[in-house]
Amino acid sequence: MKWKNRVIHAGVLVLVFLAAVVVFGYVTNKKNSNMTTDIGAATRPQIAFSYNGYSLNDLPGYKNEMDLTGVRDSITPVSNGQLQVTIKAYENVIESLDYTVYSIDGKEKLLEQKVKKPGENATLEVGNADGENILSEERMLQITLHMDDHDMYYYTRIVDGAKLNAAPSLDYVQSFHENALAKAEGVGIGTAIEPSDEGDNTTLQHVTIHSDYTHVTWGDLAPKVDGSERWTIKELNSTYMAVELEYRVNCTGEENEQDEYQVREYFRVRYISGSQKTYLLDYDRTMDQIFDATKKVLNEKGVLLGITDKNPIYMVNKNGTVVSFVQAGELWNYNRDRDEVSLVFSFADAENTDIRNMLMQHDIKILNVDEKGNTTFAVCGYMNRGSHEGETGSAVYYYNIEQNSVEEKLFVSSDKAYDRAQEEVGGLVYYNVENGCLYTIADDVLYKMDMNKGTKKELATGLNEDQYVASEDGHLVAYEKEDPSKSKSVTVMNLETDQEYEVTCKDGECIKPLGFMDGDFVYGVAKTEEVGTTLSGAQVIPMYKVEITSSKDKVIKTYEQSGIYVLSATFEDNMITLDRAIKDGDTYTGTAQDYITSSKEAKESNIYVQTYKTDLKETQVRLTYDDGISDKEPKLLKPKQVVLENIPQVSLDRKKETDAFYVYGHGRLQGTYNTAGKAIQKANDCGGVVVDADQNYIWERGNRDLKYSIDTEDADTEQLRQALAGGKSVVDAITEVYGSVMDLSGCTIDELLYNVNQGRPLIAVLDAQTTLMIVGYSDGIVSCEDIGSGVRSNHAQSDFANVSVYLAAK
């Protein structure tokens, strides 16, 4: 079973923002004015950029100024120091336009200019400031549109496009895209892709560079683009360009004359100026059928979702008669007893194809479906329209199936772009819709906030990120009040019921919370006398056993292996990955990982996901009713939004995660990691990049020379040698000499050579006596200098397997 998409019959809710500083906003009485309305039309202006005949980077407009390091969606090439901006004002009157160029970390303002009374097109001079070329490296651009009653803010990274071959790369993307749609033969698609067993040639929903020619060229669907296309450049450097296209297509259907699909198409390409050839490095396309209840969407077996993800987001009521499900960015509800299909929430509007409504920068999370089918859900990300238009965050809604209405319960705002706002749903914020209480950890305190009364109660204090964990749906939290190396107990709380219990360990031991698996608490136990360090001096808590306990505080599984210690655990899908080590004297050295999988059976339901195949559309998805459906022409309902006098609001003013590493790949944020090594491994898997909290590049896939060498005099080898000779640990010595250190352990040496190419030396701890500085590479050979002796030597890449490696960076 999959924990993320499993069917849930009970429970309430869940949003999470890592250790945020939460400002408790205003709360008024919940009584509504008995007025209803629709979500309202989009009102904001829109801007885009013109480059070499292409319209690029349609930027979402923000109501408030954003955190510059939290907006990393697009990068725009600059031509001859100028940007050509297209402004679609719609019904707005633009009084003036300000634009400001910042350093990529947002700390330095490099240029600030104003354009009075801009028309539909404006030219922004961004190349020079005080006679200096400010585009010597990647920068951040903020554009502000001033109107009569409010301002709107727009953000993109900018880079000098002169030597980055942006134009031929865009030409290649357009050619491939159009030829694939037209199924054109002899135009290079077949030679550009890399069909292999990695490609799934049973489905048209997800197509990659490893799919076969038939699937890359859309099979037998013969798609036609409906409306405009949104082109966004995601990455642009001297090695490659990454571009994402978003659009809709119409295809001949089977149940219906025409079906419509939401498509996202991603390219990573490299242009070689010497040969004037462009190469396809990566390709990824997804399509999701748009659920249209005016057409045939039911048959005698269930609800037809068509071509979509094989693991759709859905939840059913206890009786198995009502199902709520997410399809192509919309939330739907089907009530078999009433023979009704309801479009519960959508930013798109079938009656108004405004491109601003089509922006897919949000997720919908179903939080609870009760016995009647009433549905609690959250919309997380960028708000295209409605009362929060132009904001990012998470809005919690309640769909009343009896009254056919949707009521907003709570809005949690963020100053990050949609992907970062969604990623922040991962610490702890839990909202109980029944009692109107919000639970959150802020400033190391677990709070219970009554949104009806406006009160705040401290449930636990003195917490940090190492001392608590939360369940995936947010209703369970476990925390310890002492440092993990000393704590003898962990408190486990059920935020839905306010009940709690304690898990304890024996004298001479300490306990560490690790996470939750299907509602069961997972923790590790270590002996206090064995708390130690790695070879490099980093402190670790070596857990000699990991236990899983049920909600009744009964141990149901114990993991323990003689001579093996668990240092940390990662929870993903249906598996726990254990990072392990062995003891060598007083230090711990990493060894092979191990895994714990879920053995619980999924709760049976009358409604379940089923896939089936047809000749035209291949693999399709259906929400199947065990006892079938008798009426296949349901009534279509469009619930109205209940207008409240005021909506409870909570704003986030997060402490900056200075040690966080962000992975971007396939046009999206792929994850946030506490260690650079794990981030690099993820980025390598998805062909992406790793940046730190200040947006500095830590790693890029493929963007390095074939060979490189660092001048050891510039690497401060002697200072590092003296620090180690003075008895400092490797980590402390690197920090003293270089100012900062990043743990890259777990990466292959091939993944790490990017940093050497950037002039950043790597420190490898081979054993207690040998510490090497990696200063060069060529043809599979790694050049090193022994920090203790100063002797230079060459090594094979295999010599660095399971070796602790650290990045020294000033």
Express each pLDDT in 586-639 by its tens digit: 788 888 899 998 766 656 688 999 999 999 999 999 999 999 998 888 999 989
What is the pLDDT, as a whole number, of residue 19?
33
Distances (CA, A) of 654 to 420, 427, 651: 12, 12, 9
Looking from the CA of 716 toward its CB, the CA atoms found within 13 Å total: 19
Range of the domain at 136: 80-160
Mean pLDDT, the chain, as a whole number?
A: 86
Domain boundary at 128, 160, 192, which? Answer: 160
Residue 236, domain member (yes or no): no
433 closest CA partner among 652, 648, 654: 648
- Encode pLDDT of 507-530 as tens digits: 999 999 999 988 899 999 999 999
Is 224 inside any structural domain?
no
Which CATH number do you get for residue 94?
A: 2.60.40.10
Distance CA 361, CA 246 (A): 11
- Contact partners, residue 186, CB within 8 Å, separation at least 6: none
> Residue 564: which CATH number?
2.40.128
For residue 25, pLDDT beyond 50: no
Task: Quote the pLDDT of residue 678.
Answer: 87
pLDDT score of 351: 60
pLDDT in tens, 43-99: 899 999 999 999 999 999 999 999 999 999 999 999 999 999 999 999 899 999 999
In eight-state DSSP terms, residue 631 is: -
Tell which residue, 2, 3, 137, has the closest CA to residue 516: 3
Q: Find all residues with CB under 8 Å of 534, minimum gap 6, and list them.
A: 540, 581, 587, 588, 589, 590, 765, 804
Residue 714 in any domain: the answer is: yes
**The pTM is what?**
0.86
Cα dist. 354→41, 43, 227, 542 in Å? 9, 10, 10, 56
Among 236, 72, 60, 59, smallest CA distance to 691 is for: 72
Within-domain flag for 244:
no
Looking at 131, 160, 189, the residue that finishes a domain is 160
Mean pLDDT, range 781-810, rounded to an integer: 82
Q: Is 329 a residue whose pLDDT tops 50?
A: yes
Q: How many residues does the chain have?
A: 810
**Confidence category of residue 653, pLDDT binned at 50, 70, 90:** low
**Residue ending a domain, choose from 570, 597, 624:** 597
In a domain, 207, yes or no: no
For residue 630, the SS3 value is coil
In a domain, 218, yes or no: no
Asked if residue 237 lies in contact with residue 691, where contact means CB atoms within 8 angstroms, the answer is: no
Lowest-confidence segment of 329-338, 342-351, 438-447, 663-672 by average pLDDT: 438-447
- In a domain, residue 228? The reply is no
Q: pLDDT tens digits for 741-751?
A: 888 877 888 88
CATH number at residue 752: 3.90.70
Residue range 387-431, pLDDT digits in tens = 899 999 888 889 999 999 999 888 888 888 888 887 664 345 677
> Hey, what are 743's tokens?
């743990």
Distance, CA of 488 to CA of 511 (rounded, Å):
6
Confidence check: pLDDT of 110 > 90:
yes
**Is residue 445 a contact partner of residue 456, using CB atoms and an 8 Å limit?**
no
Angle of CA points 58, 168, 232, to nearest 5°: 15
Residue 290, Ramachandran bin (φ over 0: left; ψ between -120 and 50: alpha; else beta): beta
Q: State the DSSP H helix or E strand holding residue 768, giving kind and residue range, or none if neither.
A: none
pLDDT in tens, 111-158: 999 999 998 999 999 988 777 889 989 999 999 999 988 899 999 999
Q: Residue 654: what pLDDT? A: 54
In sequence order, the 6+-apart residues with CB closer than 8 A to the CB of 559 are: 545, 546, 547, 566, 578, 594, 596
pLDDT of residue 30: 38
pLDDT band at 22 (very low <50, low <70, confident <90, very high): very low
614 in a structural domain: no
- The total number of structural domains in the chain stands at 3
Q: Which residue has the tokens 């990566």?
A: 282
- The total of other beta-carbon atoms located within 10 Å of residue 331's CB is 23
